[in-house]
Amino acid sequence: MPFTFHELEIDGVVLVEPKVYKDERGYFLETYKMPDFVKAGITRPFVQDNYSRSCRGVLRGLHYQKSPFAQGKMVSVIQGKIFDVAVDIRKDSPTFGRWVSATLSAGNKNMLYVPQGFAHGFLILSAVAKVLYKATNVYSPEAEAGIIWNDRDLKIDWPVKEPILAERDKKWPALNEVETGF
């Protein structure tokens, strides 16, 4: 199988390790193969691809889409290195308010699957990072929502204390102040 799937500490969040075929020309890997992902429990089809480029210290997040535009995401890095975070925002979940992280890079070629019901964010650790992610639903500006990156109750251990943020990411409420819809 061209993938190894590692369930993280929160149910549904999966670190995907692709098999990399290397030779003198370089390398080749599959980034997605529906039958393998379905067998691993990742069953929602991907319908949109997104791409971002950011510089060291940029933090994007913590974002999610409200229903009916809720999204699962498969995050990968094609240049650089990121600290990727998924926060469980499902009110009835036994892990509500907990987070998990993974370091994704062009070097390790790992991917992180973040299902619906999670807020997602990432911090750029390298000089530049190019992030590609697949989404299980289309983006809707009206459904966009977020949680403040440094929510005191979440206690996310970001590797940078003063990240570069978009104006909107500076103004999101704390998790205990929002109705996530999950």
Q: Is the pLDDT of residue 66 over 80?
A: yes
Q: Which helix (H) or strand (E) holds 34?
A: helix 34-39
pLDDT tens-digit profile of 3-24? 999 999 999 999 999 999 999 9
The residue annotated as part of the active site, out of 64, 113, 120, 133, is 133
Question: Which of left, alpha, beta for 142 (phi over 0: left; psi -120 to 50: alpha)?
Answer: alpha
CA atoms within 13 A on the CB side of 161: 0
Residue 133 appears among annotated catalytic residues:
yes
Full-prediction pTM beyond 0.75?
Answer: yes
The residue annotated as part of the active site, out of 51, 63, 64, 113, is 63
pLDDT tens-digit profile of 47-61? 999 999 999 999 999
In Å, how far from its chain's centre is CA 47? Answer: 16
pLDDT tens-digit profile of 14-50? 999 999 999 999 999 999 999 999 999 999 999 999 9
The CA distance from 129 to 103, in Å, is: 12
DSSP SS3 for 114: strand
Q: What is the pLDDT of residue 10?
A: 97
Residue 120 appears among annotated catalytic residues:
no
pLDDT tens-digit profile of 89-114? 999 999 999 999 999 999 999 999 99
Domains of the chain, CATH where assigned? 44-177 (2.60.120.10)
